[in-house]
Amino acid sequence: MKVVFFGTPEFAVPSLEKLLNHRDFEVVAVVTQPDKRRGRGNQLTASPVKTVALTHDLPVWQPQRVKKDTETLDLLRQTQADAFVVVAYGQILSQEILDMPKFGCINVHGSLLPKYRGAAPIQWCLYNGEMETGITTMLMDAGMDTGAMLLKAHTSIDLMDNAEQLAQTLSVLGADLLIETLLKLQKGALTPIPQDSSQATYAPLIKKENYSLNWSRQALELHNQVRGFFPDCVATFRGAPLKITSTTPITPEMRSQLPSELRVLEEKWFDLSDRTTSPGEVVATVKGIGPLVQTGEGVLLLQKVQPAGKRAQSGLDFANGMRLAVGEVLQNGE
């Protein structure tokens, strides 16, 4: 089967590599987003997918707008590919492109459709506290993740998983499901299943305001926000931004899910439960673990943070280095 691969970020790499290493597929070209300037040097940087493609001497096309780029459209037609595979490409494909390949355009989507259609399914499923997610392969149509479903694969979500970790898990799961999907399509062994749009939920692009932490929210809600929008959630500490990148909610409901190294906090929870404190107030710094901050409901352990202008560090190192005092208050993010 001749395949053109559309993809851009690290999430798409396992799928591309799986295709390249499978004897039943020939990747004839790769379409990816244009190089972007990154880092302090503002250097043009290739996407992870482009980097892999170049190591395999594949043609790489990087149109600014693929559906308007006549040169790329001509090149796509000339491939006479059996399928276009799309994994986190980052641009909407026109009907003209969708109609080109024999088996259509096959998308690997990071949710169990029709839940979490859109640009950020992994982030929003964590934000909403889902305990299960997965991958759906589908035949793309002109809508936003509305195409008929082909196959699904499920995975559970751990309380401590963040968006980066879950994306890694799903990228590998998606690569395996892609191969299974293409092989079954080739044999005519798949029946596309239309989505029930009445059950659809959406995962839009993340905005700047989504990163701001509000201490009046529940500890579990804040934890889900931090891990869902990792690593960019922010509070305010002594008038400056403080990124908070890893937390644990310390509430009665969560005690059974605490990692073993944090079980010492079970006893500490009872010591703190009767205190009258304000949201954002530091209620304790637990020896060898880190600071506990009061929320609207429950206490939040700060495990990893990044003060403005400094490197990321453990919550414990932050508390010690800043001489964080019990009773000091962290403000909401701005």
**Could you tell me which residues come within 8 angstroms of residue 239 by beta carbon, excluding any fewer than 6 positions away?**
none
Dihedral pair phi/psi, residue 88, rounded to 5°: 50, 50
Question: What would the 3-class secondary structure string for 239-257 be?
Answer: CEEEEEEEEEEECHHHHHH
CA distance to 44, 160, 266, 317, per residue, from 261 (Å)? 42, 13, 11, 17
Q: Tens digits of per-residue pLDDT, 104-118? A: 999 999 999 999 999
DSSP 3-state of 64: coil
* 5: enclosing H helix or E strand: strand 2-7
Q: Is 127:100 a contact under the CB 8 Å cutoff?
A: no
- Stated pTM of the model: 0.94
Indicate the pairing of strand 132-139 with strand 290-294. unpaired
pLDDT in tens, the chain (334 residues): 999 999 999 999 999 999 999 999 999 999 999 999 887 777 899 999 999 999 999 999 999 999 999 999 999 999 999 999 999 999 999 999 999 999 999 999 999 999 999 999 999 999 999 999 999 999 999 999 999 999 999 999 999 999 999 999 999 999 999 999 999 999 999 999 999 999 999 999 999 999 999 999 999 999 999 999 999 999 999 999 999 999 999 877 777 777 777 777 766 555 555 567 899 999 989 888 999 999 998 899 999 999 998 999 999 999 999 999 999 999 999 8
Residue by residue, DSSP assigns 111-130 as SSTTTTBSS-HHHHHHHTT-
Q: What is the pLDDT of residues 196-246, one digit of tens each?
A: 999 999 999 999 999 999 999 999 999 999 999 999 999 999 999 999 999
User: Using the 8-state DSSP alphabet, how is residue 144 labeled?
Assistant: S
